[in-house]
């Protein structure tokens, strides 16, 4: 037989970590089988019921509910009697002293604070974050369960004010050497990180520390920042901050699978930041380990390795797509790729999707749009002309250039096209002289295309060997004579394309002589008390707000009160 | 004004390349605007109609249909009169002499032939391929439009007979230095290739040649071989052949995105082949550049680079997941991963999906099954316990181990579990002593699990630094004392898992002293005449079959005749 007793303490608010600690201590008392200590929200009451506790009394959301199941009534009562003592002991151990009841009061007490760390329950979090931005504080928003539209509103507001808004659901950051939320103790140094993934930041920063490197700043964005809806507002701001930071020599970006359009935007900025930039997008496969100054890591450990190596030497020998700086000539216009080789089309498209969005194609690739009417290109388009839909009643384009020639003319007639990509695959079985036919149309296209930014550029990828029956040298010569840019491997075809589309990387800026964040670090903590302790232990100036749900957790009343204000 | 004239030649069969060449020559004659030369199948007649040609006469599928549009009647007639002359000239230029009318006749003439190259229209191709296997020939099936079930039947039949069946829709192969289908002229050497992607093979072999390397054999599989339905029958046979081939020092696999379960099977064999193995799966991101003797290429060019380097030295320094050979101890049992860190769970799952299938998870990753009931693991299961569904009314597992401890006990009670993976993420904000709680349950699990193959193994990944408040050394010590295998980076966690699941790589076999394929190469060609020319030019012994559709293309009659046989 066991005995279960409830106790309700009306209007006594404690945060969830404090409650968990109390619950654990109660459960370890002699004669106690199990214990529950929660704020009596309907969800928590349901959870207790499903754990076999019956709630007998009338409770409200702002009541503290304590339930113990004991071997007998004596032990149960004895446990409940110890609640106050346990609470007091806890209070004495952590953050003693006066705690202001509101953000405004805290700010009066610590006006030099430049940060607010928020970990209140999700339904209250956006409001506290808005208040923080309104008094010009940067925000670290640990709370989750904040709506996407609230996130967009908060981030846009921060952007307007030139503030940094990390989160919601931001688990980790290290600012001026002080960890926010979950963060490892690491050496300060020259690697700046941006993480849309909390544990990702922890793993990389720990590994950098283990390898002897150090961290300038580690900026969390919240897990949704690189989604379509948010568009990477915080990540972009973070790149700007780390670009301008004189301490940061290498930048690392780690994220769970991001939206392709957001990656594109972010990498175009990264491309232009003038510092080596390590990219670790989980589960996202780029076409090279290195493209220009962008380094694509294969794992979190590899990202840390690369960062530490790049901090020592900003140029690593890696399989890469090399971008010729002298080829950089930013041109408008869409890219249209017309390929005979399916795999060539595939690899080019995978690489370009990282930089150009949207791309349309008849290939099925994540992050690439389906071109529904394959006879009519849109935006950037990459076509595998060896696909069945193009070879009905026709030979494969490896043997028969007719349709490709027609399509080249069709693309050239589109005034929005700037670059065309074609492949010539030589060898046994293939067309005996593909360049003869293709050079004619390339010449015609280049002569006829009369635009303000010059003729359409045609990049011709010639795949073959010096022993192939078509005479490799002669094939190249014919294409070059027609005015095509001839390359002999896919990486070069990709780099010649990227070089013409992306803006030329800016010359390395004179580093600003200014820390990106105010030092010494001064923070207002609203929410979990353990964070106040943690910040203090790390040497930051902190004030913890004695936050309670507005109107005692009565949301109807709270909404009424806020209207009366 | 223009004049269009049709000519129909009943029962005159020519292959599609010959027809294209004739069409082109006609179109270039004086006064001719456009020309069409096709076998008069309904599909081809539709295509001609859509190109603006009206077909006035009654035609049958085995009729040759010639259409010319000319400036005037005189030029049109003159062009048609030249058809015979053009045909004769073509015939004299290519493969003159007697051509047997059937595969049987060709085989009597060239009984030493070990290959049949088939490029007849798709609807006839499976039958010719079956006939070829029946007379014990290896098959290169260039034709497409062969049904999947036919492909499975052909490949199983080849497997039983110990023959190699490349294709259908196999564009490229190089056997004993001779290119089949589309193939580049490349040096012979020590790199053996397997391609489920035709152009992929061409690009890599050309690049290897350019880098000074050479090819032992390049085996095509057809584009669907690594799909679920086919299961990689030909690719697996190809790995076996190249493993046994004394000339092959390095093996390269290139494929369009494959089915995860097939990749797993193939990599387990590759893992065990005793030769360095380069994997280039387009758009498929592994968790390291190298795992044991498997090298994951980031591009076709990178695959060629790696192959040439490995041919010179079979061990390359690359970011890798190193597999301790001494840790290899093949154990039965499923792997269950219970992670506090979401990104850690993600990276481990991405790496393991390459080797273990199926894997279930609450993470959304391609090639990983959704675990619908997250409270009950199945097969190999990887769980992100920080996910909302697990933290309802509970703190994050970084702070609260309660659910994880319960779940560890639950997994341990499953007799099919062999390995458990957990992470301990230290640092500010996290649980003050996670190892204290987790070590207790790990010890209990290891003592209670009494199976024929020893206790359940627990791999504990500890992420943190020597400056973290939890005391890294003490955390590790507690876990080790409890009997866990402790690692400090994700790559090691993955390799310790793989090491226990995969069979130990076999010691390098004494290379067979036998060529994998009969030399000199002797081939029967059924289909496109250009392939006969191409094979001859490359020095192979060839006989071309003067193939025509059975029963003059009348499929009803053909089916009747085949039943009478």
A65-123: per-residue pLDDT in tens? 999 999 999 999 999 888 888 887 766 555 556 789 999 999 999 999 999 999 998 98
- What are B183's two structure tokens? 């193939």
Taking Cα atoms as reference points, which of A378, A370, A364, A366 lies closest to residue A336? A378
ipTM of the complex: 0.84
| Contact list, A198 vs chain B (CB under 8 Å) | 341-343
Pairing, β A178-181 against β A172-175: antiparallel
Chain A CB contacts of B399 under 8 Å are 17, 20
Going from the C-alpha of B222 to that of each of B135, B138, B141, B179, the distances in angstroms are: 22, 14, 8, 15
DSSP β-bridge partners for residue A391? none
Please tell me the predicted confidence (pLDDT) of residue B239: 96
Strand partners, B461: B423, B487
Helix (H, G, I), strand (E, B) or coil at B286: coil
How many CA atoms lie within 13 Å of B438's alpha carbon, on the beta-carbon side?
Answer: 37
- β-partners of residue A278 are A252, A295
Contact between chains at A429 and B182 (C-beta distance less than 8 A): yes
End-to-end CA distance of chain A: 54
Q: Does B530 touch chain A (CB under 8 A)?
A: yes
Helix (H) or strand (E) holding A468: none
The nearest CA of chain B is from the CA of A430 a distance in Å of: 6
User: Which residues, 6+ apart, have CB-to-CB distance to A10 below 8 Å?
Assistant: A60, A62, A63
For A210, the closest of B285, B465, B534 (CB atoms) is B465
Q: What does the alpha-carbon distance between residue A184 and residue B467 come to, in Å, rounded to a whole number?
A: 8
- Cα(B148)–Cα(B324) distance, integer angstroms: 41
* B 355-414 residues with CB < 8 A to A: 365-366, 386, 388, 392-393, 395, 398-400
Question: In chain A, which residues have their Cβ closer than 8 Å to the Cβ of B392?
Answer: 43, 47
- Tens-level pLDDT at each residue, chain B (565 residues): 788 888 888 878 888 888 888 888 898 899 998 888 888 888 788 878 877 777 767 788 788 899 999 999 999 999 988 888 888 776 665 555 678 999 999 999 999 999 999 999 898 999 999 999 999 999 999 998 899 999 999 999 999 999 999 999 999 999 999 999 999 999 999 999 999 878 999 999 999 999 999 999 999 999 999 999 999 999 999 999 999 999 999 999 999 888 888 988 898 889 888 899 999 988 777 767 788 888 989 889 989 999 999 999 877 766 666 655 444 445 568 999 999 999 999 999 998 988 888 999 999 998 899 999 999 999 999 999 999 889 877 789 999 998 999 999 999 999 889 999 999 999 998 999 999 999 999 999 998 877 666 789 999 999 999 999 999 999 999 999 999 999 998 988 988 888 787 766 665 555 555 788 998 999 999 999 999 999 999 999 999 999 988 876 666 777 776 676 5
Contact A556, A562 (CB under 8 A): no
> Each residue's pLDDT tens digit in chain A (565 positions)?
788 888 888 878 888 888 888 888 898 899 998 888 888 888 788 878 877 777 767 788 778 899 999 999 999 999 988 888 888 776 655 555 678 999 999 999 999 999 999 999 898 999 999 999 999 999 999 998 899 999 999 999 999 999 999 999 999 999 999 999 999 999 999 999 999 878 999 999 999 999 999 999 999 999 999 999 999 999 999 999 999 999 999 999 999 888 888 988 898 889 888 899 999 988 777 767 788 888 989 889 889 999 999 999 877 766 666 655 444 444 568 999 999 999 999 999 998 988 888 999 999 998 899 999 999 999 999 999 999 889 877 789 999 998 999 999 999 999 889 999 999 999 998 999 999 999 999 999 998 877 666 789 999 999 999 999 999 999 999 999 999 999 998 988 988 888 787 766 665 555 555 788 998 999 999 999 999 999 999 999 999 999 988 876 666 777 777 776 5
Give the pLDDT confidence score for residue B327 in this predicted structure. 45
d(CA B85, CA B214): 43
Q: b/e for A541-557, b at 16 or more Cβ within 10 A?
A: ebbbbebbbeeebeeee
Report the distance separating Cα B311 and Cα B189, nearest Å.
9
Whether B206 sits inside 8 A of A465 (CB atoms) is: yes
Q: Any residues with CB less than 8 A from the CB of A112 and at least 6 apart, and which?
A: A518, A522, A541
- Is the distance from CB of B460 to CB of B422 less than 8 angstroms? yes
pLDDT at A147: 95
CA A299 to mean position of chain CA atoms: 15
Instruction: Count CB-CB contacts under 10 A for residue A19.
Output: 20
Distance CA B379, CA A562 (A): 53
Q: Is B512 exposed, middle or buried (0-12, 13-18, 19+ CB in 10 A)?
A: exposed
Backbone angles phi, psi at B70, to 5 degrees: -130, 170
Checking DSSP bridges between strand B417-425 and strand B334-339, what pairing results, if any? parallel
Chain A closest CA to B60's CA: distance in Å?
16
User: Coil, helix or strand for B476?
Assistant: helix
Which chain A residues are within 8 Å of B202, Cβ to Cβ? 341, 425, 427, 463
Residue environment code for A221-256, b if the CB has 16+ CB neighbours within 10 A, otherwise e: bbbbbbbeebbbbbbbbbbebbbebebbbbbbbbbb
Cα(B120)–Cα(B132) distance, rounded to whole angstroms? 13
Q: Do residues B306 and B297 lie in contact, with contact meaning Cβ atoms separated by under 8 Å? A: yes
Cβ count within 10 A of residue B560:
11
Indicate yes or no: CB of A289 within 8 angstroms of CB of B298. yes
What's the Cα-to-Cα distance from A28 to each of A55, A69, A75, B442, rounded to whole Å? 22, 12, 12, 20
How far from chain centre, in Å, is Cα A301? 18
Please give the C-alpha separations between residue A352 and each of A263, A267, A357, B298, in angstroms, as whole numbers.
12, 12, 8, 14
Which A residues, 454 through 513, put their C-beta within 8 Å of a C-beta on chain B? 463-465, 467-469, 488-491
Residues B410/B365, Cβ–Cβ less than 8 Å: no
Tell me whether residues B206 and A463 touch, CB distance under 8 A.
yes
Chain B CA closest to residue A195: B343
| Residue whose tokens read 């060629």 | B304
Listed by number, the residues of chain B in 108-147 with a beta carbon closer than 8 Å to a beta carbon of chain A are: 144
Q: Does A183 touch chain B (CB under 8 A)?
A: yes
Q: What chain B residue is nearest to A302 in terms of C-alpha separation?
A: B319
- The span from the CA of B135 to the CA of B7, in Å, is 40
Cβ pair A298:B282 closer than 8 A: no
Is the Cβ pair A298, B287 closer than 8 Å? yes
Could B282 and A343 be called an inter-chain contact, meaning their C-beta atoms sit closer than 8 Å?
yes
Which residue do the tokens 């002797």 mark?
B522
The span from the CA of A104 to the CA of B550, in Å, is 91
Helices A73-81 & A83-93 angle (0-180, nearest 10): 30
Q: Report the distance separating Cα B543 and Cα B99, nearest Å.
A: 7
The rounded distance, in Å, linking the Cα atoms of B306 and B540 is 31
CB contact at 8 A, B387 and B380: no
Exposed/middle/buried for residue B414 (C-beta within 10 Å: 0-12, 13-18, 19+): middle
CA distances from B340 to A347, A434, B382, B485 (A): 36, 58, 11, 18
Closest to B525 (Cα-Cα) out of B77, B100, B42, B70: B100
Q: Which two tokens stand for residue B71?
A: 């400036």
């Amino acid at each position: 037989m066991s005995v279960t007793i409830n106790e309700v303490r009306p209007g006594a608010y404690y945060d969830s970590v404090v409650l968990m600690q109390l619950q654990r201590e109660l459960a370890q008392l002699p004669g106690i089988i199990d214990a529950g200590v929660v704020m009596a929200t309907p969800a928590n009451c349901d959870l207790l019921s499903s754990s076999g506790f019956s709630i007998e009394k009338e409770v409200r959301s702002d009541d503290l509910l304590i339930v113990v199941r004991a071997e007998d009534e004596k032990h149960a009562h004895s446990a409940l009697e110890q609640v106050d003592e346990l609470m007091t002991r806890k209070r004495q151990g952590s953050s003693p002293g006066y705690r202001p009841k509101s953000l405004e009061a805290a700010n009066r007490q610590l006006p030099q604070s430049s940060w607010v760390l928020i970990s209140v329950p999700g339904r209250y979090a956006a409001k506290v974050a808005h208040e923080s931005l309104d008094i010009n504080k940067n925000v670290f928003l640990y709370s989750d369960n904040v709506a996407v539209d609230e996130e967009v509103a908060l981030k846009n507001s921060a952007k307007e004010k030139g503030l940094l808004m990390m989160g919601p659901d931001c688990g980790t950051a290290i600012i001026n050497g002080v960890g926010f939320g979950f963060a490892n103790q690491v050496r300060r140094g020259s690697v700046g990180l941006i993480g849309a993934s909390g544990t990702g930041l922890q793993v990389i920063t720990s590994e950098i520390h283990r390898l002897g490197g150090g961290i300038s700043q580690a900026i969390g964005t919240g897990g949704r920042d690189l989604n379509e809806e948010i568009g990477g507002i915080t990540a972009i701001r973070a790149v700007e901050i780390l670009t301008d930071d004189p301490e940061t020599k290498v930048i690392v970006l780690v994220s769970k699978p991001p939206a392709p359009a957001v990656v594109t935007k972010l990498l175009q900025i990264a491309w232009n930041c003038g510092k080596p930039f390590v990219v670790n997008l989980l589960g996202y496969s780029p076409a090279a380990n290195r493209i220009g100054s962008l380094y694509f890591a294969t794992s979190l450990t590899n990202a840390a390795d690369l960062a530490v190596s790049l901090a020592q030497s900003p140029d690593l020998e890696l399989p890469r797509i090399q971008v010729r700086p002298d080829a950089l000539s930013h041109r408008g216009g869409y890219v249209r790729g017309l390929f005979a080789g399916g795999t060539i089309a595939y690899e080019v498209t995978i690489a370009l999707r990282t930089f150009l969005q949207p791309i349309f194609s008849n290939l099925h690739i994540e992050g690439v749009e389906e071109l529904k009417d394959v006879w009519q290109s849109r935006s950037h388009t990459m076509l595998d002309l060896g696909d069945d839909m193009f070879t009905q009643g026709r030979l494969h384009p490896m043997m028969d250039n007719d349709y490709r020639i027609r399509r080249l003319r069709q693309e050239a007639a589109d005034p929005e096209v700037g670059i065309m990509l074609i492949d010539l695959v030589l060898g046994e079985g293939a067309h005996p002289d593909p360049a003869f036919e293709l050079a004619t149309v390339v010449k015609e296209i280049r002569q006829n295309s009369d635009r303000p930014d010059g003729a359409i550029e045609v990049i011709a990828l010639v795949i073959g060997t010096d022993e192939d029956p078509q005479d490799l040298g002669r094939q190249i010569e014919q294409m070059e004579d027609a005015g095509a840019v001839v390359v002999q491997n896919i990486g070069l075809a990709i780099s010649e394309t990227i070089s013409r589309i992306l803006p030329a990387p800016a010359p390395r800026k004179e580093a600003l002589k200014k820390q990106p964040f105010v030092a010494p670090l001064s923070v207002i903590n609203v929410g979990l008390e353990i964070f106040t302790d943690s910040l203090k232990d790390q040497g930051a100036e902190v004030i913890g707000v004695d936050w309670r749900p507005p109107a005692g957790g009565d949301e109807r009343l709270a909404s009424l009160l806020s209207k009366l204000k």
